[in-house]
Amino acid sequence: MIIIDSKLCKGCDICIATCPKNVYSKSDKVNTKNVYLPFPEHEEGCTKCGLCELSCPDQAIYVEKEVE
Amino acid sequence: MVEKESPYKKYLREERLPHIFCPGCGNGTVMSTFFKGLEGTDIDFENVAMVSGIGCSSRIPGYAKCDSLHTTHGRALSFATGLKVGNPDLDVVVFTGDGDAASIGGNHLIHAARRNINLTVICINNNIYGMTGGQISPTSPKGSFGTTAPYGSRDMPFNLAELVSAAGASYVARWTTTHPLQLSKAIQKGLENDGFSFIEVVSQCPTYFGRKNKMKTPLQMFEWIKENSINKRRAEKMDEAELEGKIIVGEFANNPHAELTDNIKKLAEENSDKPLAIKSAFEELD
C-alpha cells in the first residue's frame, strides 16, 4: 500500500520519474497549496523497492512493506 | 501500531515541516539518503552532531532532530574541526554547499582534507548560488548561464571530488540525486571511515540553475543529470572529448591513513605520560 502525504507533497513529480515500474501518474486532485498530487495508478506493479520513499525530497511517501 | 508516514520522518523536527526547499530541490533527497546511510551503520543518532554554513543545503541540520550548529559562511569545516578535536567521541557530519565549501571556504576544505580529520562532509553541489539569487559558483559548468553570467560562464569549473582526493582525504565519492541507493551506500562508508570523508552530491536546482539553463521543471533537470552521469570505471576508457560536460560518478579515493585527533592524543600521551584531558569538565581525572 502506498500513502502520499498531501500536506507535505510539493508536486515535483520526481516519484513519477524514479519509479522503475511506472506505478505513479499525475492526478487532477489538488491539495491546499494548489499542487497537483501524484497517485499510484498501477499499484499492482509495485515491488516495494522503496526507491520513491528514498527519492522523495519532501518525505511525503510511505510504502507499506509486508511484515513477517 | 504501524505508523503510516515516511520512514525518514522520525529523524526530522516535525513542527518545522514542510521544509523551505523549493519543489524538486535535491536537498530533501540527500537528507533521506543520509538517514538511510546512518541506519546502515552502528552509529547512534543521538551521538551525531551536524554542522553547516550558509546556503540552501546548509539548512538541512535545522530540520534534523539532533545536535546541530549553524555557522558563518564557509567556516562550517573550521567549526567542525574545533568540535571534533574538543570532543573526539562525537560523530560530526558537515552539510555544505558548493559555494560554501569550494568558494568562500575553499582553503578550509583542502586543509581539513590534508589533516585527515575524522569528519563526514556531504557537499551538495547544485552548480549555482541558489539562496542569493542564482550567481555563478566555482562549480558551474563551462557555458552555463546565471545571474552574473548572462552570456554564459567562461571559467573552468572545480572538480571537487578530485581536488579533495588530491589534498589527501581518505574517502572521496561523487554521486548524484538520481542515484539514491549508491549515495546512501557512499554515506554509510563515509560515516564508518576513520578519517576525512567527502561525498559530493550533484543535485538539481530547478529554481535558479534550471530556469537560466532551459530546464524549467525539476523533471527536466532530473533527466539531464541522469543522462549525463557516467560511472568512473566506464569513463576511464573514454577520451576527453567524449567526457566533456559529463558528470563522472563513483568512488575517487579510499585509502585510510593516520587521523588528526588520534595523532593529537598520541602526542599528548607520549610527552606527558598522562591521558589527554578530554571532557575534563564532566569527568574527574587522577
The predicted complex's ipTM stands at: 0.92
> Looking at residue A57, what DSSP letter applies?
T
Taking residue B54's Cβ as centre, other Cβ atoms within 10 Å add up to 22
Domain of residue A14: give its range: 2-63
- In chain B, which residues have their Cβ closer than 8 Å to the Cβ of A64? 2, 4
pLDDT higher at A16 or A68: A16
How much is the pLDDT for A33?
A: 86
Whether the per-residue pLDDT at B171 is higher than 90: the answer is yes
Please report whether residue A20 resides in a domain. Answer: yes
- Dump pLDDT digits (tens) for B176-204: 999 999 999 999 999 999 999 999 999 99
Inter-chain residue contact A59 with B25, CB threshold 8 Å = no
Residue type, B76: A
Nearest chain A alpha carbon to B25: A57
Please report whether residue A68 resides in a domain. Answer: no
Distance CA B259, CA B257 (A): 6
Please report whether residue A13 resides in a domain. Answer: yes
Q: How many domains does chain A have?
A: 1
Quote the percentage of chain B above a pLDDT of 90.
75
Q: What is the tally of helices (H) and strands (E) in chain B?
A: 11, 10
Provide the mean pLDDT of chain B. 90
The residue-averaged pLDDT of B251-280 equals 84
Please report whether residue A36 resides in a domain. Answer: yes
With contact defined as beta carbons under 8 Å apart, do B114 and B138 qualify? Answer: no
Chains A & B: contacts with CB separation below 8 Å: 85
Which residue in the set B23, B36, B222 is minimally distant from A11, CB to CB? B23
Please report whether residue A15 resides in a domain. Answer: yes
How much is the pLDDT for B69?
A: 93
Distance CA B154, CA B273 (A): 57
Please report whether residue A9 resides in a domain. Answer: yes
With contact defined as beta carbons under 8 Å apart, do B79 and B107 qualify? Answer: no
- Dump pLDDT digits (tens) for A20-52: 999 999 988 888 888 899 999 998 999 999 899
pLDDT level of residue B127 (50, 70, 90 thresholds)? very high
- In chain A, which residues have their Cβ closer than 8 Å to the Cβ of B223? 17
Give the domains, in start order, of chain B with CATH numbers.
9-235+243-258 (3.40.50.970)
How much is the pLDDT for B1?
A: 42
Whether the per-residue pLDDT at B268 is higher than 90: the answer is no
Please report whether residue A23 resides in a domain. Answer: yes
Inter-chain residue contact B36 with A54, CB threshold 8 Å = yes
CB of B217 within 8 Å of any CB in chain A? yes
> Which residue out of A18, A54, A64 would a mutagenesis test of the B interface target, given it has the greatest number of B Cβ atoms within 10 Å?
A54
φ, ψ of residue A30 in degrees (nearest 5): -120, 155
- Dump pLDDT digits (tens) for B30-80: 999 999 999 999 999 999 999 999 999 999 999 999 999 999 999 999 999
Whether the per-residue pLDDT at B147 is higher than 90: the answer is yes
Distance from CA of A39 to the nearest CA of B (A): 15
- Return the CATH number at A31: 3.30.70.20
How much is the pLDDT for B282?
A: 53
With contact defined as beta carbons under 8 Å apart, do B99 and B129 qualify? Answer: yes
How much is the pLDDT for B279?
A: 58
A 46-65: CB under 8 A from B = 51, 53-62, 64
- Dump pLDDT digits (tens) for B5-21: 888 889 999 898 888 99
With contact defined as beta carbons under 8 Å apart, do B177 and B29 qualify? Answer: yes
